[in-house]
Amino acid sequence: MVLNKHTLFYLYTVQSEDSSHNIYQFSEETLLDDTQMDSYSSRDGIRTPKQSWVKEIKDREWRTGTEKLKYEGQEMNKVLQLQLEVFRHKASERHVLQWRNGCEGEKLPDGSVLTLNCINEYGYDGEDLMSYNWTSRQWSVSVKEAQETVEKFNSGSGPDPALSCQDCRRWMEIYLQYSPQHTPISAVDVYVFAKKSQTESSRLTLTCLVTGFYPKDLKMRLRIFTTSLPDHLLTSSGVRPNGDGTYQLRKSVDVQEEDAAGYDCYVSHVSLKQPVFRVIKEWDGKRRDSSGGVGVIIGAVVGVLLVLGAVVGLIVFLKKKRRNGEYKQMIRSK
């Protein structure tokens, strides 16, 4: 379990406009540890801090980072223009190109960052377009219309993913110097409850909700008589950030209403007491349809997700992919 893991992602969106010079408006936002730290728009050319600590970044570093955003946004214009031509779309129809690139890294005691993973992918009009495969060291297409662009990129005329990965590590080291240094380890709060299933009247949806934990690495299993239920039977929210720097995770499974015995939620996290770092909370077999304390908890969690969705929901293809471990390969930056 990596205890000092961080993420840095750049999210670009370019919208076509009817322009004789093929210069399109673009916007960008930077997410450090799932929290938006800035935003930039080519409309006014202003990069706006979104967190108070961002204002402490040195002017020289801020200007250099801003120039980086401008340059990459301009390069995206070329990619968008090529895709408009391939799809035979008109710029006046306002098509959208999106680019997500960044890295995951572990902060070492000396302040440097060890790169664990890098991501580089594009989307067009809300659908996957192409992505970089770290196994083959080649760009790969998601739709045939991206083939021409991929061939250009693989021939060396496109962005260098390895360079982007190294650059991400360098900027992560810089930003982590200014961000809150040590978020205290926060213990988990575990809730297990059941509600009437929305799909089958004779079944219940059993949910394990874990919230308030930091760091974000956590293991959770829904079990029956100490045997973990297979993932394909579960519905998971994925680890989501709360508004206070902690995280939450929810997993659910449909069960027969009469089968109330033997279910529990197994949680493992660094904040839990040694030597096992785990807690097991059993389901009491009762049904609670969003009443009492559970209703308040769920309402608060949903409220957090709605706020976060308003920020990142515009990036349609910003879904965390798990492509046969393609993006899981360990990459050590030189």
pLDDT in tens, 95-123: 999 999 999 999 888 889 999 999 999 99
Categorize the per-residue pLDDT at 242 as very low, low, confident or very high, splitting at 50, 70 and 90. confident
Tokens of 143: 């739709």
Chain CA centroid to CA 191, Å: 24
Residue at 206: amino acid letter: L
Tell me what pLDDT residue 2 has: 53
Tell me what pLDDT residue 274 has: 64
Categorize the per-residue pLDDT at 288 as very low, low, confident or very high, splitting at 50, 70 and 90. confident
Tell me what pLDDT residue 183 has: 56
pTM over 0.85: no
Residue 11 has pLDDT above 60, yes or no: yes
Q: What is the DSSP string of 121-178?
A: EEEETTEEEEEEETTTTEEEESSGGGHHHHHHIIIIIS--HHHHHHHHHHHHHHHHHH
Q: Which tens digits make up the pLDDT trace of 42-83?
A: 888 899 999 889 999 999 999 999 999 999 988 888 899 889
Q: Which tens digits make up the pLDDT trace of 135-159?
A: 899 999 999 999 999 999 999 888 8
Residue 235 has pLDDT above 80, yes or no: yes
Residue at 149: amino acid letter: T
Please state the CATH superfamily assignment of the domain spanning residues 5-182+317-328 in this structure. Answer: MHC class I-like antigen recognition-like (3.30.500.10)
Examine residue 184 and say whether the peptide bond preceding it is cis (omega within 30 degrees of 0). Answer: no
Q: Region 210-228: what's the mean pLDDT?
A: 90
Cross-strand pairs, 204: 196, 255
Residue 92 has pLDDT above 70, yes or no: yes
Burial class (CB in 10 A: 0-12, 13-18, 19+), 113: buried
Tell me what pLDDT residue 290 has: 54
Contact between residue 100 and residue 316 where contact means Cβ atoms under 8 Å apart: no
Tell me what pLDDT residue 156 has: 86
State the Cα–Cα distance between residues 165 and 169, nearest whole angstrom. 6
Domain covering 189-289 in this structure, CATH number: 2.60.40.10
Structure letter (DSSP) for residue 53: G
86-90, 237-241, 252-256, 272-276: lowest mean pLDDT where? 272-276
18-22, 212-216, 285-289, 307-311: lowest mean pLDDT where? 307-311
Q: Which tens digits make up the pLDDT trace of 167-201?
A: 999 999 999 999 875 556 677 899 999 998 888 87
21-25, 276-280, 295-299, 318-322: lowest mean pLDDT where? 318-322
Nearest Cα neighbor of 233 from 261, 258, 273, 203 is 203
State the Cα–Cα distance between residues 241 and 35, nearest whole angstrom. 8
- Domain ranges for the chain: 5-182+317-328, 189-289
Question: Over pLDDT 90: what percentage of the chain?
Answer: 51
Tell me what pLDDT residue 244 has: 74
Per-residue CA distances from 107 to 111, 169, 275 (Å) = 6, 10, 25
